[in-house]
Structure 1
Amino acid sequence: MAAVLAAVLVALSGRYGFHRDELYFLLAGHHPAWGYVDEPPLTPLLARAGAAEFGASPTGLRVIPALLSACSVVLTALLARELGAGRGGQIFAAGCCACSGYVLAIGHLLSTSTFDLTGELGVLLVTLRLLRTRDGRWWPVLGVVIGVTLLNKQLVLSLLLALLLALPLGLLAAHPWRELARRLRPSSAGLLLGPLLALFLALLICAPTLWWQATHGWPEVKVARVLGHVQGVSGRLLFLPLQLLQFSPLLVPVAIVGLRRLLRDDDLRWARPLALAYPVLCVLVLLGGGKPYYPLPLLLAVTAAGCEPVVRRARRSWRTLTPLLLLAAATSALAALPVLPVSAVAVTNAIDADQGEQVGWPQFARATAAAWTAIPAAQRTHGVLLTSNYGEAGALARYGPAYRLPIAYSGHMSLYDWGPPPDSDDGPVLLVEQADGQHRLERPFTDCHTAGRIDNGHGISNQEQHAEVVLCEGTHQRWSVLWLSLRQY
């Protein structure tokens, strides 16, 4: 199942085009650092490695996400085995993972969520092994897995906090007071040394990234606050429905069975914290203004717990369950994968906006180049190209050389740190404004007028469709002074 999933993802990887985040990762990969304002270094390094090894194309960039998703399928099957599933339950767990809309979506694109899913499933697997066996030799493994996952995203800290909060509740529910006290006695082997060793290894691995964040004023915290504000009240109200929709509504009953089993099955008392951690994590994410998909790795582990009883109860199980998985795969693929013609993306774009963000980048670069070449050649030598966001800058870095475009600057995310333009570039400024009509970007510039508009040619709604290409005569201040006001998250 893992191999089939990887093959399908690679086969469909070139159907549309780059996603805006992928263009940013490619650009960030050529500015290697121990951190960026919005992420740790691992995903940009994976983007650079994938492009170097398999080619700087959508297909080449997405080989690594396909392989990571295949690993996630295997880890889900191993989670089911850890929770007592036989061969049939393990296969069904692998199928649930491979057919989830969330897994298909992040397996199709290179994103921070792609490695995060694999890493968090690895953390959960080792944690369950520790809870079941109480074998202290797994503590160093847990520390290493946590440390590597932190090099990609700090979201695993929320998962660990939820598990820590759920652990005493789970143990208390599973054991009487005396038994609980006996298990937590200081004389228990590895009770203190094991967690301290895991903590030391995790900090050792991610120390350079933490140092980078500390010396730059913890910019990821600022970005998280901005994203939490963007979510708003409506995002919090739709938190659970969107989460289950992204996971796959057809697989939700299996997750419910898994929750019931973890809470009621005496043979799985040791794994009860897993069930309690899921609602705790949802509350933590809601309070922090996080996105609905953040708890989905934990929900996959809960679903793995439900696979064995579902297989056992289903009469002629595979005749019943195979159509369920095929239907889940078909509905998830329609929402998350580029299976429809580009002209039909408007239909799925309402469910998954990432579909539309893969359309129109070559047309975007072509329209920008047309406006740039309209500037007299003598003025272009001192001109500046400025974009609204990192996706636009990444697109011009990828497609711009074919049109002899200069380096595109932007104040968005880490691109701010790679500027400003030199003060000697005091010629005209070509801006790409967002399609919201606010014209915020052109305020620091003089004598601006529209020089063109972006059209992806398919009528697909995304952040660049109908955006304006604006030509300004110059700036009010030197770039070194003006740049301080252009940072945006």
Structure 2
Amino acid sequence: MSRLPAPAFAVRPVVSIAVLVGVVLTLLSGRYGYHRDELYFVVAGRHLSWGYVDQPPLTPLITRISTTIFGDTVMGLRVLSTISCVVTIIVVALIAREFGSERRGQTLAAILASVSGFVLGVGHMVSTATYDLLAWMLIALFAVKLLRTRDGRWWLALGLTAGIALENKYLVVLPIGALLISVLIVGPREVLRSWWLPAGVALAGLLALPNVLWQIHHDWPQLTVAGGIRDDDGTENRIMFVPLQILQLGPLLVPVWVAGFLWIWRRLPWARSVALAYPVLCVAVLIIGGKSYYALPLLLVLVAAGCEPVLGWIDRHRRTAVTALVITAVTSAVFTLPVLPASAADFVIPVNKEQGEQIGWPAFASAVATAWERIPPQSRSTATLFAGNYGEAGALVRYGPQHGLPTVYSGHMSFADWAQPPDTNTGMVLLIELNRTPRFESHFRNCTQIGTINSLVSNDEDGTALVLCDAPTEPWSALWPKLKTFY
């Protein structure tokens, strides 16, 4: 049993590094524009609910809070995501402390977290992964504390964090499941015999219950969404899993997390389940065909563990270490933050497509407005504007009114539940389609492409078709269920 106190926390250097990252993210937060997901979250935040077809309610709620307090702008939207990133970096240093790192090791953990492409990428924007990463780091911190001290009361902290995280994303069950399996395999199993464990489980369940009830009441649409993602991307996710594990965290951090795994396994037997949890989690993600970033948070835990053992090597190879750190910081910034001119973003989009999804939405709305003007003015009162996906719909909610566009409708994700065209809309329909498809056009008469979105960069919207149809083939109330799509 290990009840040795953890080393003193290096408050000043760790907090200074984290705050510096927050300043950089703030300065860059408005440089490109909204990400398609952020546009969706903004609208979802205006329709607060205990659940949505594709996610629990926490990220839309945080979006609503951030824009209300800090302003309905790109920068205002991202304030709380920046703060989340700052706290995440501090928690990584605290995890290093739990593994025995002294002041220098904790400072190195904060530095390495700060230059990680994954941490910077999710910290720059609002996404479910932004708050998921913080939750995973807190769960890891409390789990390590539980294993180090054998104090069962840490199960309550784990339950509280897990319950809140379940209101953001169900993925949190993966690291917890991987950790429990690992504890059963390598111990210490006595932590599972604490009465605090069922109390933590009950607390997590109580906090997650509102969204679970919402999903049950709506026939679990999130399972449909997850199934669609798996069917569409599962094979590609499996092929790219290992390369992206290396690239997304940072190739030059590989020696550190390898050292972390070995350090735990050889020197910290009480924490072996934490090390084993990472390969167990990787197997689970590969089986379900999940995205590579699902396992990255636990890799960041191994980075934290590796900081103390690599300090000696750094002392002997200081110039090489500094060079590697600078290269990692620069490449992470270039590929995850809007440091390049928007016109040059095609350089990084093949590696990080999310960069392109922040560029061009005002121009997109302008192009749609030009197409809308092809409808005779006297016919516009019964005409309908229909977007094929939530990013397009969110952009037109945001930028459409300044172009005089009407309410936009979409059958994608929760947009389908928020509004549908009235049956009095019997006139022309302007369809926005990434690719022309009978899936939409078969429900409308005489469809003709009248325009194309020419984006500044090679993002998903580049080449989108603007298609004008004469009228729907049946009333919208009958048609709407056929236009709903979850992927």
Q: What TM-score comes out, normalization by structure 1 length?
A: 0.93
In 1, Cα distance between equivalents of 2:179 and 2:234: 27
Deviation at 1:439, TM superposition (A): 5.3
Map of 1:447 onto structure 2? 446
Match of 1:131 in 2: 147
Q: How do residues 38-187 of structure 1 correspond to structure 2 at under 5 angstroms?
A: 38-171=54-187, 183=190
Kindly report which structure 2 residues correspond to 1:14-413, keeping only aligned pairs within 5 A, or say none. 14-171=30-187, 183=190, 191-265=193-267, 268-315=268-315, 320-413=320-413
CA displacement, residues 136-173 of structure 1 (integer Å, 9 cap, x when unaligned)? 2222211111111111101110111111111122227x
Out of 464, 476, 479, which is 1:479 matched to? Answer: 476
- Which letter maps to 1:441? F
Shift of 1:317: 7.0
Q: CA RMSD in A?
A: 1.5
Cα distance per residue 1:261-289 (max 9 Å; x no partner): 11111xx1111001111011011011111
CA distance in 1, matches of 2:265, 2:360: 49
The answer to whether residue 435 in structure 2 is matched with residue 419 in structure 1 is no
The SS at the match of 2:368 is: helix
Deviation at 1:323, TM superposition (A): 3.3
Counterpart Cα distance in 1 of 2:236 and 2:357: 22
The equivalent residue for 1:10 is 26
Query: Whole-Å Cα distance in 1 between the matches of residues 317 and 347 of structure 2?
Result: 34
**Structure 2 counterpart of 1:47, one-letter code:** T
- Residue identity matched to 2:26: V
Q: Contact between 2:163 and 2:208, CA under 8 Å: does it hold in 1?
A: yes
Rounded to whole Å, the distance in 1 between the matches of 2:383 and 2:66 is 33
Matched position secondary structure for 1:141: helix
Q: Deviations over 1:217-254 (max 9, x none)?
A: 11111111111112242331221111211110010110
What is the number of residues matched between the two proteins? 470
Contact 1:360–1:455 under 8 Å retained in 2 = no
Higher mean displacement: 278-287 or 220-229: 220-229
Looking at structure 2, the residues matched to 246 and 382 of structure 1 have their Cα atoms a distance apart, in angstroms, of: 48
Letter of the aligned partner of 2:269 in structure 1?
R
Aligned-residue offset at 1:390:
0.1
- What is the CA-CA distance between 1:362 and the residue it aligns to? 0.5
Q: Which residue of 1 is the match for residue 12 of structure 2?
A: none
8 Å CA contact 2:345, 2:356 repeated in 1: yes
Aligned mates of 1:136, 1:75 — CA distance in 2: 21
DSSP-derived class of the 2:245 partner:
helix
**1:401 Cα deviation after fit:** 1.0
3-state SS of the aligned residue for 1:381? helix
The DSSP-based 3-state class of the residue aligned with 1:349 is coil
| TM superposition shift of 1:191 | 2.9
Give the C-alpha shift of residue 330 in structure 1.
Answer: 0.6
Q: 2:458 aligns with which of 449, 461, 465?
A: 461
Q: Which piece of structure 1 moves more, 439-448 or 302-311?
A: 439-448
Q: For the Cα contact (< 8 Å) 2:179–2:274, is it kept in 1?
A: yes
Query: For structure 2, which runs of at least 5 residues remain unmatched after alignment?
Result: 1-16
Distance of 2:142 and 2:35 partners within structure 1 = 33
**Percentage of matched positions with identical amino acids:** 47
Distance 2:175 2:220 in 1: 20
Q: Which residue does 1:187 correspond to in 2?
A: none
Deviation at 1:446, TM superposition (A): 0.4
Distance in 2, Cα, partners of 1:160 & 1:331: 32
- 1:205 match: secondary structure: helix
Are 2:152 and 2:194, in contact at CA under 8 Å, matched by a contact in 1?
no
Q: Note the residue ranges of structure 1 that are not aligned, 5 or more in a row.
A: 173-179, 185-189
- Report SS of the residue matched to 2:449: strand
Kept in 2: contact 1:311–1:317 (CA 8 A)? no
Shift of 1:316: 5.4
Structure-2-length-normalised TM-score: 0.94
36 and 141 in structure 1: CA distance in 2 versus 1, 3 angstrom threshold: same
C-alpha distance after superposition, 1:306-326 (max 9, x if no partner): 100101332257655343322
* 1:386 partner letter: F
Distance across 1 between alignment mates of 2:130 and 2:370: 36
Cα distance between partner residues in 2 of 1:451 and 1:237: 39
- Please list the CA deviations of residues 335-394 of structure 1 after superposition, one character each: whole Å capped at 9, or x if unmatched: 111111111111101100011111110011001111212312221111111001000000
> Are the equivalent residues in 1 in contact too, given 2:36–2:358 (CA < 8 A)?
yes
Deviates more, 1:163-172 or 1:326-335: 163-172
